Amino acid sequence: MKTFEGSMTALATPFLDGALDEGAFRALVRFQLDGGTNVLLPMGTTGEAVTMDADERARAIAVVVDEVKGRVPVVAGAGSNSTRETIDSVRRAREVGADGALIVTPYYNKPTQAGLVEHYRAIAKAHPGFPLIAYNVPGRTGVDLLPETVLQLCDIPEVVALKEATGNLIRAVDLVEKCGDRMTFLSGDDFTVLPFIACGGKGVISVSSNVAPRMMADLVAAARSNDIAKARGLQVRMNALHRLLFVESNPIPVKWALHLMGMFGPEVRLPLVPMGEANAAKLKAELSGLGLLKA
């Protein structure tokens, strides 16, 4: 089974007049490949997957797979708060050529830890041999996938990695202590890439790499090769960008940033709305300072 590590981008989804802008999406994929991104992840939170129907999501994944042409792995966001629906979403992702699936813990219905294990077990049973990345983001889902539970997931061969988005570095150490090298741990928090890798992580699933793929790829590579000075410099240099990309609900700011960079329009789907003027001005100034805007 494939494993996934390095600098991994949770792709934003461009819309034009309410529909997927396939040309702009392909351009974003090429921008990521040129910037050294190791893995692409369409249809996550950043991709506004929850506002897209199943056919739209499948088409978006297919576009990424077609544009990538096997140069890097494509991991499709396929999680929901329904195990049955998640199993079907993984099926659709497989059918259009995804290399793996990112499965967020079920949100809103707040399963127990035992329920989380059975959720992942059922998905793996339905898709034997297909790599899954579990995704823990309690700030959005209302449920925390605890280290003791992740240890139980190690018994499921299809669960090859965990995206850990608590930003808690004690948690990062606890995970490595319990699971060792059995599972690949990926930061889901742009603010802590260097310390997370120092604690045993092998990469990041990033929002900021949408707009700064080369900087994030260089940061991850430096951290993984123990070039701490370079990695620290890049982590600090990108810190203000991270703050501004999360100053309003993701993906509002990152889509505005990509709009300012000439990649595509800032269109988001309700209940999200475009970025407020004051924050937008701050984001533009930071992008300019980082040299990310066209002259």
Please give the positions annotated as active site.
Answer: 135, 163
Q: For residue 213, say if its preceding peptide bond is cis, omega within 30 degrees of 0.
A: no
Token pair, residue 51, equals: 């506002």
Give me 202's structure tokens: 């092998």
Helix (H) or strand (E) holding 76: strand 75-77
Cβ 81 vs Cβ 108: under 8 Å: yes
For residue 205, say whether it is annotated as part of any ligand binding site. Answer: yes
Nearest to 205 by CA among 34, 62, 41: 41
Grouping H, G, I as helix, E, B as strand and the rest as coil, residue 47 is coil
137 burial level (CB within 10 Å; 0-12, 13-18, 19+): buried
Q: Are 244 and 283 in contact (CB under 8 A)?
A: yes
In the numeric block, which tokens belong to residue 284? 């533009």
DSSP letter string over 257-284?
A: HHHHTTSS-----TT--PPPHHHHHHHH
46 is in an annotated binding site: yes
Q: Which residues pair with 39 in a beta bridge?
A: 8
C-alpha distances (whole Å) from 237 to each of 144, 178, 202, 284 are: 31, 33, 21, 16
Buried b (16+ CB within 10 A) or exposed e, 181-207: eebbbbbbbbbbbbbbbbbbbbbbbbb
- Binding-site residues for pyruvate, please? 46, 205
